Amino acid sequence: MGPWGGISTMRRMGGGMAGPVGRARVKCPIAFLSGLSAMLDIRLLRLSDQSHTHAHGHHQMVLSLAGRAEFEVAGQGGEVCRMRACLVPGDAAHAFAGVGENRMLILDLADAASLDSAPAAERALLGELFDAPRYPLLDAEFQHLLAYAGAELARYGEQPGLARALGGLLVQALHLRLCGETRAQQRTPLDRERIEAHIQRHLGRRISVAELAQLACLSPSHFHQQFKDCFGLTPHQYLLKARLDRASQLLRDSQLPLVRIAEECGFSSQSALTTAMRRYLGLTPRGLRQGD
């Protein structure tokens, strides 16, 4: 009998970890970042004391709710307990066995196919978290979060929305502890004046986040976060505000026809400008021009 006490293996590549204890098994999209298209499988289980070795294409996070387990990932040995997790990069060969009574929370994350279709920010996050095998220490706050997640999954594990939220929260919380502080220390301030000047010069055409990111020599995902920290708005929100500000100024201070103003401010049509002004400013171009 294998380490799962004879419970059938999951459908993922290489067998994976399988056999939920109780009801907590649900496959659903991760919710730690908006728009993430990768998949998450989360469940509670007991690891047998019989050693088992395999590899699979997806990343894996192993957390202990009670008891211990021994792991060896790509030749690196370590113990999973309440104070220490195990991160298994996709395709890394690993051996594992429970030590006595134990209760583990397992998260299987995106495989290569899912990552190919995931947004850049999510690919970067998972790439950072699973760039190498590791056994991170867990602080007291994370342990409290883990205990809460385990209790909720044991009680309401068949609720997809809850499992999605809890799994995503654990992933993001651990990523912030391992990578977030380092990234913040390495972050250099954006050249705000240069970015604003570029936007003002090119308001009449489409401006992408990738284009702005090149000015700062950053990836689009990292630039997006730094831009929001610096400007208090996302790049999309800031661009829309800049276009509406310019359009409002031209409506007040010039006699240019509305179609020309829409063109100079980067709106696809006069109708698009009117719709945006009504939605975000509560005014129509005609009303603004007439001072209503």
Q: What does the pLDDT look like over 5-17, one tens digit per residue?
A: 322 223 233 333 3
The token pair at 276 is 């945006």
Nearest-angstrom CA–CA distance, 116 and 265: 35
Indicate the pLDDT class of residue 101, thresholds 50, 70 and 90: very high
Q: Which of 38, 79, 50 is nearest to 62 (CA)?
A: 79
Q: What is the pLDDT of residue 292?
A: 57
Indicate the pLDDT class of residue 127, thresholds 50, 70 and 90: confident
> Residue 286 in contact with residue 248, Cβ under 8 Å?
no
Taking residues 248-276, report their average pLDDT. 93
Q: What is the pLDDT of residue 264?
A: 93
pTM of this structure: 0.53
C-alpha 220: how far from chain center: 14
Q: What is the pLDDT of residue 9?
A: 28
Q: Catalogue all structural domains in the chain, each as residue range(s) with its CATH number.
A: 25-184 (2.60.120.280), 192-290 (1.10.10.60)
Nearest-angstrom CA–CA distance, 99 and 83: 15
Q: Which of 118, 98, 99 is nearest to 110 (CA)?
A: 118
Q: Which of 239, 236, 237, 248 is nearest to 284 (CA)?
A: 248
User: Percent of the chain at pLDDT above 70?
Assistant: 80
Q: What is the pLDDT of residue 118?
A: 66
Q: Report whether pLDDT(147) > 80.
A: yes
Q: Long-range contacts made by residues 79-82, C-beta under 8 angstroms, separation at least 24?
A: 79/135, 80/104, 80/135, 82/138, 82/143, 82/146
Taking residues 72-86, report their average pLDDT. 91
Q: What is the pLDDT of residue 33?
A: 41
Neighbours of 131 (CB within 10 A): 12
| DSSP for 147-193, written as a single string | HHHHHHHHHHTT-HHHHHHHHHHHHHHHHIIIIIHHHHHH-----HH
Q: What does the pLDDT look like over 206-229, one tens digit per residue?
A: 999 999 998 888 888 889 888 988
> Residue 96 in contact with residue 69, Cβ under 8 Å?
yes
Q: Report whether pLDDT(35) > 60.
A: no
C-alpha 252: how far from chain center: 43
Least-confidence region, from 11-15, 100-104, 271-275: 11-15
The token pair at 265 is 């401010």
Q: What is the pLDDT of residue 236?
A: 92
Sort 219 into a burial class: Cβ within 10 Å, 0-12 / 13-18 / 19+. Answer: middle
Neighbours of 63 (CB within 10 A): 22
Q: Name, in order, each residue with C-beta under 8 angstroms of 247's C-beta and a sequence gap of 6 or more.
A: 261, 262, 265, 267, 273, 277, 285
DSSP one-letter code for 8: P
The token pair at 128 is 């950072």
Taking residues 136-146, report their average pLDDT. 89
Q: Report whether pLDDT(29) > 60.
A: no
> Residue 201 in contact with residue 265, Cβ under 8 Å?
no
Nearest-angstrom CA–CA distance, 157 and 26: 7
